A and B are shown apart, each in its own frame.
Chain A
């Protein structure tokens, strides 16, 4: 039976492809795209101020509320600031690791590093966040480390910094920043290492032969060629930070982030249109970031 079917299908290409594609397309098209469309519709509805019920009429009121209320604008700006800071820090920390993996490590060492980066990346998300809560807690390892080095007062001074400080690392923006960087670092290392591996060694030798110092070679040869990897990695770190609501609620200061706002508005606040409008913010920002990266020429070398 199967044999007859497959013989019949062989050579009827278009029919065969559509038969294969139909089930997965139906799944993604109805469940996923359908839901996304319903979500987008929600963001163009608004909540009635008196009855607190959703009025199913298309309006821009919810978006106006999003961009004009200072509290909402603050949330968006706070999230963008965090995403940018996390992206820059991830790139700085990832570069030496990726560079070593791509250029210096032998085959065995390279495999070790790849597994070494991938294992923590795939380790349970929630468990890692929880681990950082333990590490950054008041009596946790970081405090213990500072205290046993006799630097307890330094930590207190850092935590006393207005805005980014707090009662403990686990309840400050510094702590949240560390956790974000930790969580997304592998997403920066892997594309960066892949890009650096494609840099031909002859170019580096030529640069050195022509008298460039290592720092000049780095700035004028390595960095421009690594830009596509840097762009790919930064898209991950940027967009993952924008959409996260678990990390800011487990570690960090009381200020709201976009993701938390989405979760809170659809839940306890019961304002689905505002939640939907907030969930569109990361998409708009990522699209803007992609355009910015393209303008920088980040994808030219792809």
Chain B
């Protein structure tokens, strides 16, 4: 007869399979970090014959990398700003109210991330050509803001749905007007969700390639620089260094977003 404790314990095989899955997910990221320091600059030789910081120095001196980096950062900031405004408005409208046509509107607000990115990208390109626009900075931003707004919307709407309606009612009963209620009751409650949504949107935009390839025209964001570098393998060591920088720039906001929205045990 198995006791309850045994019932709840994983067998060594189950533990091993779970751990192996996790290692499989993480190993490639560590490999890239290791390769950024290799002294070998022609092949993907493993293990690396030696380690050096030289490539970081070379990469830092490159004007084209800085230009691409700057463009990606500005695009991500502008797209996130637009997404925060539009996503929050949508979340407030759709969180608790019921009205005719709400389901189709809700569907519209998940469509940009539910449909394959290639479809969004090609559709935007067709739209841009139809309007006779020149692809460039603003078309990249428009594409990014479209899926970023979905991320912000999802984060804020989830938080708003968890807020008891009674709080707003109590605030109103105590004499606060709508604006005061928003400023002192709702905003503090959704602030961390808003920030988290913004961080995720920023990271997503900074790293986006599938849609950007269609909307960028001649502009070169960092992922596009990276992609073109994959087919021009003369500069492998620099590509490796940029890979590590990209990992850091996207991972920091994501970790922050995680800690901001993590379920609070003290509550």
Contact = CB atoms under 8 A, between A and B. Distances in A.
Nearest to B246: A124
A131 B87 CA distance: 34
A10 B177 contact: yes
Given A31-B127, A266-B125, A100 B105 contact: no
A159 to B, nearest CB: 16
Contact of A182 (B24, B108, B146): B24
B25 A182 contact: yes
A254 interface: no
A116 B22 contact: yes
Given A27-B145, A131-B31, A144 B227 contact: no
A31 B126 CA distance: 11
B162 interface: no
Chain B interface, >50% SS class = helix
A13 B35 CA distance: 58
Interface residues of A, number: 87
Interface residues of B, number: 84
B209 A101 contact: no
A279 B207 contact: no
Given A17-B97, A276-B126, A126 B223 contact: yes
A87 B51 CA distance: 39
Contacts of A32: 108, 111-112, 120, 123, 146
Contacts of B220: none
Interface in B80-105: 82, 85-87, 89-90, 92-94, 97, 99, 105
Contacts of A279: 116, 118-119, 122-123
B22 A123 contact: no
Contact of A243 (B9, B21, B116, B145): B116
B245 to A, nearest CB: 10
Interface string A241-257: 01111100010000000
A93 B124 CA distance: 36
Contacts of A122: 200, 203, 250-251, 254
Interface of A: 2-3, 5-7, 9-10, 13-14, 17, 20-21, 23-25, 27-29, 31-36, 38-39, 42, 93-94, 96-97, 99-101, 103-104, 113, 115-120, 122-128, 130-135, 137-141, 144, 182, 185-186, 189, 204-205, 208, 239-240, 242-246, 250, 259, 262-263, 266, 272, 275-276, 279, 282-283
